[in-house]
Each structure stands twice: as structure tokens, then as C-alpha cells.
Amino acid sequence: MSARIIDGKAIAADLRGKVAEDAAAFLQQTGRKAGLAVVLVGNDPASEVYVGSKVRMTRETGMGSFEHRLPAETSEADLLALVARLNADPAVDGILVQLPLPRHIDSGFVILAIDPAKDVDGLHPENAGRLMAGLPGLVPCTPLGSMLLVESVMPDISGANAVVLGRSVLVGKPVAQLLLAANATVTMAHSKTADLPALCRTADILVAAVGRPQMVKGDWIKPGATVIDVGINRLAPAEGAAKGRLVGDVAYDEALEIAGAITPVPGGVGPMTIACLLKNTLTAARRRAGL
């Protein structure tokens, strides 16, 4: 029997609908729209697509969108000055500086400069510390979306064994904290982990976030496990194709035969990331308004 496919597009659309209802209620309560500022430096093609989607969906949910597109040669000082203005702007509840930044700008400095109360990417060390300490803060969007996908098929994960492949600050570490907070028993694995396939086979929940195409094979998966594939990798184009196809970190066709539930790539975690960005913006707006 093949696995249940977790439809990230449908779950994200449902979440955006809820955010739109809450955004309308916020407007009624405060007399203003919740506002998201997105900053793009340079013209990285993938970043331009992401920013376009974020701006469009922010407007569709009835929130204010403030878009700042800066040339690639913008200095670090000028970018930090813009962040300071957005921090001080009462119409802006969330600030997202699209990564990666040009090489001459230190992204760590820029993240540190964002007001933690407006850090809707959840990357500021204060928000990371709040997540670690179990305090309310803003949680990174991809881990938050991944957890919502787990909960869509496993409403109670207490006592479940979870294995997180990858220890990045963006995904691996925060998703492990969220799983732990939901009472799963969590193991973090990485490139130095001994006998990775055997460890993965112990997982009731397997989160793959390593950035290596189709690394997780079908025989790495425990029968009936829930598999969340965060990876998005473009394969080399086949003969006659302009672009290679997108695949995750999991060998999807193999995993489909063994897992209990699995996210596809594309159409799994990806749509949830933007939906959770909108959710975070509204959360930030409500907290700033004392609601």
C-alpha cells in the first residue's frame, strides 16, 4: 500500500484563509492593516520569484505590503539604515530581508539589526533563544510549516521517535526544538552520524533537511513512518530539457512504497513556508498591538 501524500498546497491554502480572516479582524480592532516589509538586495532570480510570491500573498490576505528592492551594490551601512527605519515604522509589523545577500554584506549583522518583535523569519538569536527556552517568540517559517504538516497526519506525537537529518540554524535545529516541545523523542543526525540508514529506520517521524538530492533511500525508512522532505534540489537537465526537475532529499518513489505519509517536492513544505510567514506577520502585529 502506498503512503498518504501530505498536500502542502491545500494545507497552506487553508492556513492563508485563516490568516485572511484574522487580518480582517485585526483591521477592525486597530483601524490599520498588519504590515510586512520585504527587502530584496540584488536580482538573484530565485529570490525575485520568492519575493514576488510573498508580496502577492501578503496583499491577497488583506495585509499591507512594503516592498524594498535595492541594487546589488547597496552597501551594508545603507541596508542597516533601511532596517533601522523599518524597525521604527509603526505601520511595519514584520521585516523579512531575503537571503542570500550579496557577498559584501554580512547577513548575520543584518539579522541582528532586525527588531526581534518584527523578525518574522524567526532568525534573530533572541527568537532562537525563546524557542529553546519554550517562551513565546517568532518561529522560523519552514520548521513551523513542517510541524503543521506532521500534525495534519499525527495530531499527537507524544512519545514518537523523531529523527531530524540536518543541523542548520534555518531548519534542523528549530524543527528539533518544535518536535521536542510536542513531546517527541528527538535525535539530530548529520554528516558525521554513524550508520545513518539504521538510525533513520528507528524514526516514526523523519525530517530530511540536508540539501542532498534523493539521499534518503526507501530502505532507510521505517514502515508506516511520516516523512517530511524539506529539501529542494534541481537535478541536471535531461537531454532536450531546458531545466532539470525538482526533487527533495528523499528518493520519493521508493519512500512512497514504505512510508505511512510523505510530503511531495514540490507541493509539500514549500507552500507552507510562505503561509507561515503570513501567520508570523499577524502574530507579530497582534503582539505589538497588545491583543
Structural domains of the chain ordered from first start: 31-115 (3.40.50.10860), 141-271 (3.40.50.720)
* Mean pLDDT of all residues in 50-60: 94
Q: Are 272 and 148 in contact (CB under 8 A)?
A: yes
How does the average pLDDT of the chain come out, rounded?
96
Confidence of residue 240 (pLDDT cuts 50, 70, 90): low
Within 13 A of 94's CA, how many CA atoms are on the CB side? 33
Residues 6+ apart with CB under 8 A from 136: 130
pLDDT at 279: 98
pLDDT at 191: 85
Count, residues in the chain: 291
pLDDT digits (tens, 9 = 90+) for 84-115: 999 999 999 999 999 999 999 999 999 999 99
Indicate if the pLDDT at residue 5 is higher than 80.
Answer: yes
Indicate if the pLDDT at residue 44 is higher than 90.
Answer: no
**Residue 140 three-state SS:** coil
Whose cell is 516523512? That residue is 227
- Residue 228's CB is within 10 A of a number of other CB atoms, namely 29
Kind of pairing between the strands at 205-208 and 233-234: unpaired
* Mean pLDDT of all residues in 238-243: 69
* Mean pLDDT of all residues in 148-163: 98
pLDDT at 239: 67
Provide, rounded to the nearest whole percent, the portion of the chain with pLDDT above 90: 91
Indicate if the pLDDT at residue 251 is higher than 70.
Answer: yes
* Active-site residue list: 54, 98, 121
- Percentages of the chain per state (helix, strand, coil), in multiples of 5: 45, 15, 40
